[in-house]
C-alpha cells in the first residue's frame, strides 16, 4: 500500500512540476517528488515481519530476518543531497525576486 502511495506521490509531484508557473511552487513540487521517490525506494527493500537492520541486545544475530539496508543507505544520501538542491533553488528564487519583484514566470520578462 505504501509502495503505491509513494508512486502516486511521485506522479503528483511530477504533474505539479510540469504545470506550475510559480518558482516556489516548482521547488515545492520537486520536494514532493523526492519524498514520493524516497518512500518508493525504501518500500522496495521492505520485508514484512523483518527487523530494522541494526544489531542490538534485542536482535543479536545475523540469522534473523532483516529489512534490506541498501535502499536505506541510498535514500539517506538522497535526502541530504535534496536539501542541497532545495537550498540552491531557493537562492535562485530569491535572486529572481530581487530582480523582477515576482515569483510568477509569466510576469517576468519586461523590467
Partner 1 sequence: MKKVLALVFVLVLGALIMNHLNDNNLFAGFGDAMLENRVSQSYIDRDATENNDGVVFDESLDLESGAANTVTAIVADYRSFDTLGEVTVLFISSFGVALLLGQSKKRIALEFKPNFMLKIGSRALFAVILMTGVFVSIHGHLTPGGGFPGGAMIASSMLLLYLADDEFRAKMRGFKILESVMGVFYIILGLAGLMITGFFLENFLDNGALGTLFSAGMIPIVYIIIGLKVGSEISSVIDHFLSEEGA
Partner 2 sequence: MLINVLEIIVSILLLLLAFLALSSKSLIKSVMFLSSLSMLSVVAFVLMKAPDVALTEAVIGSGLVTSLFVFTLLATRKVGQKQ
Instruction: Please calculate the CA angle 104-33-8 and round it to the nearest 5 degrees.
Output: 120
C-alpha–C-alpha distance, residues 95 and 92, integer Å: 5
- Per-residue DSSP letter, 109: S
Q: Which three cell numbers stand for residue 66?
A: 532483516
> Where do contacts with partner 1 occur on this chain (CB under 8 A)?
1-4, 7-8, 11, 14-15, 18-19, 43-48, 52-57, 59-63, 65-66, 68-70, 72-73, 76-77, 79-81, 83-85, 87-88, 90-92, 94-95, 98
44, 68 Cβ separation under 8 angstroms = yes
Binds 37, which of partner 2, partner 1, none (CB < 5 to 8 A, cut-off by type)? none
Q: Which is nearer to partner 1, 57 or 110 (CB)?
A: 57
Q: Which is nearer to partner 2, 4 or 55 (CB)?
A: 4
Distance between first and last Cα of the chain: 50
> Where do contacts with partner 2 occur on this chain (CB under 8 A)?
1-2, 4-6, 8-9, 12-13, 15-16, 20, 22, 24-25, 27-29, 31-32, 35-36, 38-39, 42-43, 46, 50-54, 67, 72, 75-76, 79-80, 82-83, 86-87, 90, 93-94, 97-98, 101, 103
**Among 3, 33, 31, CA closest to 15:** 33
Amino acid at each position: 500500500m505504501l509502495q503505491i502511495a509513494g508512486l502516486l506521490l511521485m506522479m503528483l509531484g511530477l504533474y505539479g512540476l510540469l504545470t506550475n508557473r510559480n518558482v516556489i511552487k516548482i521547488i515545492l513540487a520537486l520536494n514532493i517528488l523526492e519524498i514520493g521517490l524516497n518512500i518508493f525506494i525504501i518500500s522496495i527493500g521492505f520485508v514484512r515481519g523483518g527487523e530494522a537492520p541494526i544489531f542490538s541486545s534485542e536482535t543479536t544475530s545475523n540469522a534473523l530476518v532483516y529489512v534490506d539496508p541498501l535502499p536505506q543507505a541510498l535514500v539517506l544520501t538522497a535526502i541530504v543531497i535534496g536539501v542541497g538542491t532545495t537550498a540552491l533553488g531557493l537562492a535562485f528564487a530569491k535572486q529572481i525576486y530581487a530582480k523582477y519583484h515576482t515569483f510568477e514566470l509569466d510576469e517576468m520578462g519586461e523590467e
